[in-house]
């Protein structure tokens, strides 16, 4: 048997593939046909494929006359406001959520490559129309148009030549009108008009024509009103939502010149709670859109009242009839995304000048808001609430060069942080002479009780604290609200539950089995940020808070744990105890959120 030269065989296979690909797309041979069509001499077949919708920020002013910019708007306005029982971030930005992406998947995409997805797919039932204009010596003559749905396109048979093409869709199932002699189309009002064109570069259709791939941009401005309770880690059971100040104008569009002529008047799109839909089935994030060709500033007011959310224990939290009312101005830009965001978050408990979370941090895998606080602040040995030093996942050792403040990953991004040692002064015992006691050096479980007994003899109870066998608590100076239950409830008091901690680890493992020894029910323990972010940490003493009830009193100390480096596979990790995290508000958030690049959605580390 003869053996064919490998190089020759590869070339033969490539030639065969290219020949088959050409036949699948175009043909200029009248004996060849596609889908039963016989193609006359001098004609070819054009096959259209839809890539999707861009993020709406790439429309070019050279293709659509009257647009104000071809660059993404950098406008950003974020503030934190207080309402009855909750806080809310109120923002105007360009971070409009894409349909078909969950909160978690969007964050993952940004974390892996720093960019959003290139395009959003059209649904298989969405209609669009392709218009073809043949170039006859610089004069464009309408040749034909065809309406399609994505994935069901038939080849278009056209005479060979140079063509300008335009594609139009209303991003729904509506029929798209054919062109008339004026090439002007009266576009509908308050519809998501999608547009794409060959622009200044014609497509040459002949036997070598490649498939035409189309990515749509938006022709109108898209304005999203988003109401979410991501910062409450709970779906919305019900709410009354009212939006005023909105206006939607249509336009007449010239297919060949790209000129938009604004309609003289417009309508007022209905935007109440019935017009809001759950984003990807997530009832903690509700969005309503409207679309306008007008580029005049709109003064919008959003009011939310009668808010009720569903807690993890299947009870309902009712924030009453008082409305949160906020107003913002938006200047629409054609082809751009704009968002008016009201992101509702749990309010803080204020004690000693520090704004505390109502409960400990825990991690809920595969949830739109995986970093969250317990709704009822229970005493719990939930493994998902014990973190090693600098780690963003529970029961996993942190990389030695990638310590993370896990509180910053609670929605909205960066509002919460791990407390500093100084922020614990008012929840820490003082010595018999009045000063704060020095740090304990606790290195193993066996030595805890003996060392604490020594400190207890010198320590006064934590000022204004109340102690029980299972927890200690203090009365906040602000933050108490009836929506969270009685004034003495576990989330209306600054309560530290005795959840214990795991002080020594045996063999390093990818996922550490929790062993709290005799600490559960006896101690609370949570990390501080001392020697955590932005400083060397290996072989340094890292501070955490340790508290317990002794003699009917609550006594608490800033303690020290010595860290060491270990090797887990090929990764250097921090060998660390496991304990709870209690978050506080970050006083620098206002400055951080004022940056143009700020996005309330946290970027979750891989």
- Secondary structure of 565-581 as H, E, C letters: EEEECCEEEEECCEEEC
Q: Is residue 2 part of a domain?
A: no
Tokens for 73, please give them. Answer: 């708007």
Q: How far apart are CA 423 and CA 540, in angstroms?
A: 20
Number of domains in the chain: 3
Task: Identify whether residues 439 and 493 lie together within a single domain.
Answer: yes
Query: Are residues 294 and 319 both part of a single domain?
Result: yes
Parallel, antiparallel, or unpaired for β 494-497 and 578-579? unpaired
Are 26 and 170 in a shared domain?
yes
Q: State the CATH number of the domain containing residue 198.
A: 2.60.40
Do 508 and 386 lie in a common domain? Answer: yes
Which of 302, 188, 205 is CA-nearest to residue 248?
188
- Asked whether residue 5 is domain-assigned, the answer is no
* Residue 447 shares a structural domain with residue 300: no
**Backbone torsion region of residue 7, taken as left when φ is above 0, otherwise alpha when ψ lies between -120 and 50, otherwise beta:** alpha
Please report whether residue 432 resides in a domain. Answer: yes
Out of 313, 346, 379, pick the residue that ends a domain. Answer: 346
Segment of 343-347, 365-369, 529-533, 574-578 carrying the highest mean pLDDT = 343-347
Mean pLDDT, the chain, rounded, equals 84
My answer on whether 398 and 530 are in the same domain is yes
- pLDDT tens digits for range 287-323: 999 999 999 999 999 999 999 999 999 999 999 999 9
Q: Which residues pair with 404 in a beta bridge?
A: none
| The pLDDT of residue 61 | 41
Token pair for residue 414?
């960066």
Query: What was the pLDDT predicted at 570?
Result: 64
* Residues 487-495, mean pLDDT to the nearest whole number: 98
User: How many angstroms separate the CA atoms of 387 and 383, rounded?
Assistant: 9
pLDDT in tens, 165-198: 999 999 999 999 999 889 999 999 999 999 999 9
Residues 6 or more apart whose CB falls under 8 angstroms from that of 597 comprise 76
Is there a cis peptide before residue 496, judged by omega within 30 degrees of 0?
no
Assess whether 310 and 321 both reside in one domain. Answer: yes
**What pLDDT band is residue 25 in, cutting at 50, 70 and 90?**
very low
282 and 406, same domain (yes or no): no
* pLDDT bracket for residue 65 (50, 70, 90): low
Domain that holds residue 24: 16-62+121-218
DSSP state of 460: P
> Which of 164-178, 200-214, 414-428, 491-505 is predicted with the least confidence, judged by mean pLDDT?
200-214
Question: Quick one: pLDDT at residue 207?
Answer: 80
Residue whose tokens read 């806080």: 87
Average pLDDT over residues 510-538: 79
pLDDT at 134: 95
Report whether 285 contacts 103 (CB < 8 A). Answer: yes
pLDDT band at 565; cut points 50, 70, 90: low
Percentage of the chain modeled with pLDDT above 70: 79
Residues 390, 527: one domain?
Answer: yes
The yes-or-no verdict on residue 575 having pLDDT over 50 is: yes
Distance of alpha carbon 295 from the chain centroid = 27
71 lies in some domain: no
| DSSP one-letter code for 98 | P
**134 within domain boundaries:** yes
Residue 33 falls within a domain, yes or no?
yes
Please identify, among 171, 196, 218, the residue that sits at the C-terminal boundary of a domain. 218
Output the pLDDT for position 572. 78
Candidate from 62-66, 93-97, 125-129 with smallest mean pLDDT: 62-66
Q: Where are the alpha helices (DSSP H) in 169-299?
A: none
The C-alpha atoms of residue 103 and residue 409 are separated, in whole angstroms, by: 13
pLDDT value at position 372? 98
In a domain, 341, yes or no: yes
| Residue spans of alpha helices (H) in 41-172 | 103-113
The residue with tokens 């794409």 is 196
Paired tokens of 157: 């048979």
Mean pLDDT of 232-243: 97
Phi, psi of 21 (to 5 degrees): -65, -40
With 90 as the cut, is the pLDDT of residue 78 above it? yes
Cβ-contact 578, 387 below 8 angstroms: yes
In the prediction, which pLDDT does 26 show? 39
Total Cβ atoms within 10 A of residue 490: 20
DSSP assignment letter at 216: E
Same structural domain, 145 and 264:
no
Q: What pLDDT digit, counting tens, does each position of 263-282 carry? A: 999 999 999 999 999 987 88
Task: Looking at the structure, tell me whether residues 330 and 479 fall in a common domain.
Answer: no
Dihedral (CA of 180, 181, 183, 187) sign: negative
CA distances from 167 to 96, 185, 198, 532, 540 (A): 24, 12, 9, 54, 63
Query: H-helix or E-strand containing 243?
Result: strand 236-244
Tell whether 438 and 496 lie within a shared domain.
yes
Q: Look at residue 72 and tell me if it is in a domain.
A: no
Q: How confident is the model at residue 383 (pLDDT cuts 50, 70, 90)?
A: very high
Q: What is the pLDDT of residue 483?
A: 96
Radius of gyration of the chain (CA): 31
Least confident of 40-44, 202-206, 342-346: 40-44
User: Do residues 562 and 52 make contact, with C-beta atoms less than 8 angstroms apart?
Assistant: no
Please report how many Cα atoms fall inside a 13 Å half-sphere around the Cα of residue 158, on the Cβ side.
29
Choose one of 328, 346, 364: the last residue of a domain.
346
Q: pTM of the prediction?
A: 0.85
Q: Return the higher-pLDDT residue of 506 and 160.
A: 160
Please report which confidence band the pLDDT of residue 447 belongs to, taking 50, 70 and 90 as the band edges: low
Q: For residue 219, give the DSSP letter.
A: S
pLDDT of 131 over the 80 cut: yes
Q: Is the per-residue pLDDT at 375 higher than 50?
A: yes
């Amino acid at each position: 048997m003869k053996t064919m030269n490998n190089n020759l065989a590869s070339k033969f296979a490539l030639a065969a593939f290219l020949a088959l690909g050409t036949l699948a797309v175009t043909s200029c041979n009248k004996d060849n046909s596609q889908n039963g069509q016989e193609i006359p001499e001098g004609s070819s077949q054009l096959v259209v494929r839809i890539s999707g919708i861009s993020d709406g920020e790439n429309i070019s002013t050279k293709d659509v006359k009257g647009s104000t910019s071809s660059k993404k708007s950098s406008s950003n306005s974020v503030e934190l406001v207080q309402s009855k029982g909750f806080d809310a971030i109120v923002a105007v930005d360009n971070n409009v959520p894409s349909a078909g992406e969950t909160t978690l998947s969007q964050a993952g995409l940004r974390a892996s490559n720093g960019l959003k997805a290139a395009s959003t797919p059209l649904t298989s039932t969405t209609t669009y129309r392709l218009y073809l204009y043949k170039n006859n010596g610089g004069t464009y003559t309408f040749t034909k148009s065809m309406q399609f749905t994505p994935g069901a396109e038939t080849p278009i048979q056209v005479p060979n030549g140079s063509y300008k093409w335009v594609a139009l869709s209303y991003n729904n199932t509506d029929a798209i009108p054919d062109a008339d002699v004026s090439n002007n189309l009266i576009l509908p009002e308050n519809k998501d008009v999608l547009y794409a064109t060959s622009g200044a570069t014609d497509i040459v259709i002949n036997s070598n024509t490649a498939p035409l791939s189309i990515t749509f941009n938006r022709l109108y401005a898209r304005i999203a009103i988003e109401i979410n309770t991501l910062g409450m880690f709970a779906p919305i059971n019900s709410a009354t939502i009212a939006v005023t100040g909105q206006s939607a104008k249509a336009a007449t569009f010239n297919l060949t010149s790209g000129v938009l002529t604004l309609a003289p008047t417009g309508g007022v799109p209905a935007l109440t709670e019935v017009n809001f839909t759950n984003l990807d089935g997530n009832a903690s994030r509700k969005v309503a859109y409207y679309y306008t060709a007008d580029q005049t500033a709109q003064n919008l007011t959003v009011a939310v009242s009668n808010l009720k959310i569903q807690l993890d224990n299947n009870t309902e939290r009712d924030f009453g009839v008082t409305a949160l009312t906020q107003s913002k101005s938006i200047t629409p830009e054609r082809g751009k995304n704009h968002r008016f965001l009201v992101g509702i978050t749990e309010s803080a408990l204020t004690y000693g000048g520090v704004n505390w979370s109502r409960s400990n941090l825990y991690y809920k895998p595969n949830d739109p808001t995986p970093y969250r606080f317990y709704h009822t602040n229970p005493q719990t040995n939930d493994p998902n609430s014990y973190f090693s030093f600098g780690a963003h996942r529970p029961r996993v050792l942190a990389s030695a060069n990638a310590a993370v403040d896990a509180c910053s990953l609670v929605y909205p991004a960066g509002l919460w942080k791990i407390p500093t040692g100084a922020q614990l002064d008012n929840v820490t015992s003082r010595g018999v002479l009045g000063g704060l006691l020095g740090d304990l050096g606790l290195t193993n479980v066996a030595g805890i009780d003996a060392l604490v007994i020594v400190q207890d003899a010198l320590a006064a109870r934590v000022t204004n604290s109340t102690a029980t066998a299972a927890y200690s608590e203090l009365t906040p100076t602000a933050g108490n609200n009836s929506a969270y239950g009685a004034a003495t409830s576990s989330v209306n008091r600054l309560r530290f539950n005795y959840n214990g901690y795991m002080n020594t680890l045996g063999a390093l493992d990818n996922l550490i089995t929790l062993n709290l020894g005799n600490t559960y029910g006896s101690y609370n323990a949570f990390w501080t940020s001392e020697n955590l972010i932005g400083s060397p940490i290996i072989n340094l003493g890292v501070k955490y808070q340790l508290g317990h009830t002794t003699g009917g009193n609550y006594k608490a100390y800033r303690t020290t744990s010595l860290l060491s480096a270990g090797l887990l596979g090929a990764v250097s990790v921090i060998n660390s105890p496991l304990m709870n995290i209690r978050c506080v508000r970050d006083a620098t958030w206002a400055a951080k959120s004022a940056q143009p690049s700020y996005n309330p959605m946290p970027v979750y580390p891989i």
